[in-house]
Amino acid sequence: MSNAIQPYNRALDGGLILKSITEPADAERIAAFNGHIFGDMVAGMTRSLIHHHPASRPEYWLFVEDEATGQVVSSLALIEWTWRYEDVTLKSGEMGIVGTLDSYRNRGLIRQQVARHHELLRRDGFDLSHIQGIPYFYRQFGYEYAMPLEAGWQIELRDLPDSTSDEPAVYQVRRATCDDVPMLMRLYDEANAALDIRTVRDEATWRYLLQHTAGTEMEAETWLLLDANQHIVGYWRVALHGFGTGLIVSETSRLRPDACETLLRWLKAAAIEREKPYIRFNLPVSNDLLRAARYRGARDAGTYTWQMHIVDAASLLRKLAPVLERRVAASPFAGLTKTLVINLYREAVELRFEGGKLSQVQGVGFREWGDINLPPLLLAPLVLGYRSREELEHMYPDVGMRGEAKFLADVLFARLDAFLFTIY
């Protein structure tokens, strides 16, 4: 955690105070509160994030205190992520570990903390915010489902091959250590290069994952696959906690087909040893291991979704200019000169193309109509490639565009392959 502290303290109604961490005791109070609401492993995760995560900052940990008792009664964290959208780097602030004591609910405490969360997003140049969150609730704060989360591909153990002692050992396995971080970084980047939207994970984050998740909600094992010459040729991670009762594979590198077969055998043996009835693959559909499992009968039990908030629509679209220009150049609109208005009903954004280049992106206030018209929450699933223009038009009557605007919307905002591997 950064040592620079910019304390926040604001009086609320009813003798309550909205605060951020100002001293070490505050960190322990928040951790204890989160443990009371969510359990001991979330308390451990809170402590680990506050004290050890490289992106953690004291002012990003918010809580509400009852002035009369000194008790923490509600809390919310901003957890900083870095993403790549194709070749553009984006900054997203996860709204995490949100909770309120039962006796203090329905007093607007989450609303007050979300308002401060959004102030921090704007102040510190975030492009997006995301949350796992309970269904529906966060729509009132400008969040919409727009990114795959917790893939649910499952395979029964009977569908996987057994390991036999008479097979030659082509590969060996061992647990990863911090000495392996440079290789893990390379393998991770190679595996995620094909994703249109992905998480950036630097050396400090890798070290956090290997050293500081034990005993937390996000605890995981990182395993290495070695060839006959003891060279690392792949890795995978097994999450120790999560949805369902199966063994959870939460991440893998690229893997050759024979390596996938070796790993599937290892996973079956591990599931039997750990008394897990099936294996769940929390992986993108393009993943090599998941493809191998699907050929053996893995079924899709459903995927949840990250809820997304765009901090500033014009700013995000301006930042994505290189991506949008490439899409135009590769389409029949190459060399486009046009002013395109995206009308979000409460506000509009004007994109000015000149010779195929995006020369200006600006908010232009309220407009009665535009070339692309859609409710403000639906910009996130469109821009992030979670829903196509056609899907949104089919689902929502207040999504409207005509003729050439439909074609241009399809060019600018294509469906994308996105997946966010964890940073904690």
**Distance from the Cα of residue 2 to its chain's centroid:** 22
Residues 338, 282, single domain; the answer is no
Residues 61, 166, single domain; the answer is no
pTM of the entire predicted model: 0.94
Query: Using an 8 Å Cβ cutoff, are 379 and 346 in contact?
Result: no
Instruction: Compute the Cα dihedral for 351, 120, 31, 11 and give only its sign.
Output: negative
Cα angle for residues 211, 217, 219 (degrees, 5° grid): 35
- Range(s) of the domain holding residue 318: 312-412
User: Per residue in 152-162, pLDDT tens?
Assistant: 999 999 999 88
Q: Report the pLDDT value the prediction gives residue 3, as an integer from 0 to 100.
A: 57
User: Per residue in 103-124, pLDDT tens?
Assistant: 999 999 999 999 999 999 999 9
User: Which of 303, 321, 342 finishes a domain?
Assistant: 303
**Closest among 157, 149, 150, 148 to 298, alpha carbons compared:** 157
Residues 352, 269, single domain; the answer is no
Q: Report the pLDDT value the prediction gives residue 340, as an integer from 0 to 100.
A: 98
64 bridge partner residues: 18, 74
- The domain that holds 43 is classified in CATH as 3.40.630.30
Q: Report the pLDDT value the prediction gives residue 6, as an integer from 0 to 100.
A: 81
Q: Report the pLDDT value the prediction gives residue 32, as an integer from 0 to 100.
A: 99
Q: Work out how many domains the chain is built from and give that number.
A: 3
Residues contacting 186, CB < 8 A, separation 6+: none
Per the domain annotation, does 169 fall within a domain?
Answer: yes
User: Which of 123, 142, 161 finishes a domain?
Assistant: 142
User: Which of 111, 142, 173 finishes a domain?
Assistant: 142
Query: Using an 8 Å Cβ cutoff, are 283 and 148 in contact?
Result: no
The total of other beta-carbon atoms located within 10 Å of residue 222's CB is 19
What tokens does 34 get? 């989160």
Residues 162, 298, single domain; the answer is yes
**Closest among 68, 84, 64, 86 to 17, alpha carbons compared:** 64
Cα separations in angstroms, 385 against 20, 300, 337, 416, 423: 35, 21, 24, 5, 22
Residues contacting 136, CB < 8 A, separation 6+: none
Cα separations in angstroms, 260 against 45, 241, 270, 282, 289: 32, 23, 15, 16, 6
Q: How many alpha carbons fall within 13 Å on the CB side of residue 37? A: 22
Per the domain annotation, does 1 fall within a domain?
Answer: no
Q: Report the pLDDT value the prediction gives residue 266, as an integer from 0 to 100.
A: 98
- Tracing tokens 């050890």 back to the chain, one arrives at 52
Per the domain annotation, does 3 fall within a domain?
Answer: no
Amino acid identity, position 5 = I
Q: Report the pLDDT value the prediction gives residue 1, as an integer from 0 to 100.
A: 57
Cα separations in angstroms, 396 against 142, 371, 393: 17, 16, 5
Q: Report the pLDDT value the prediction gives residue 163, as an integer from 0 to 100.
A: 79
Residues 171, 214, single domain; the answer is yes
- The domain that holds 406 is classified in CATH as 3.30.1050
Q: Report the pLDDT value the prediction gives residue 166, as an integer from 0 to 100.
A: 63
Residues 180, 262, single domain; the answer is yes
Per the domain annotation, does 419 fall within a domain?
Answer: no
Q: Report the pLDDT value the prediction gives residue 44, as an integer from 0 to 100.
A: 98
Query: Using an 8 Å Cβ cutoff, are 67 and 182 in contact?
Result: no
Q: Report the pLDDT value the prediction gives residue 313, as an integer from 0 to 100.
A: 99
**CA 141, CA 113: separation in Å to the nearest integer?**
11
Residues 298, 316, single domain; the answer is no
Residues 292, 161, single domain; the answer is yes
Residues 276, 217, single domain; the answer is yes
Residues 102, 138, single domain; the answer is yes
Residues 363, 255, single domain; the answer is no
Per the domain annotation, does 51 fall within a domain?
Answer: yes
Give me the residues of the chain with pLDDT under 70, please.
1-4, 165-168
Query: Using an 8 Å Cβ cutoff, are 413 and 385 in contact?
Result: yes
Residues 137, 214, single domain; the answer is no
Per the domain annotation, does 338 fall within a domain?
Answer: yes
339 bridge partner residues: 352
Per the domain annotation, does 424 fall within a domain?
Answer: no
**Closest among 160, 31, 190 to 97, alpha carbons compared:** 31
Per the domain annotation, does 62 fall within a domain?
Answer: yes
Amino acid identity, position 358 = L
The total of other beta-carbon atoms located within 10 Å of residue 227's CB is 13
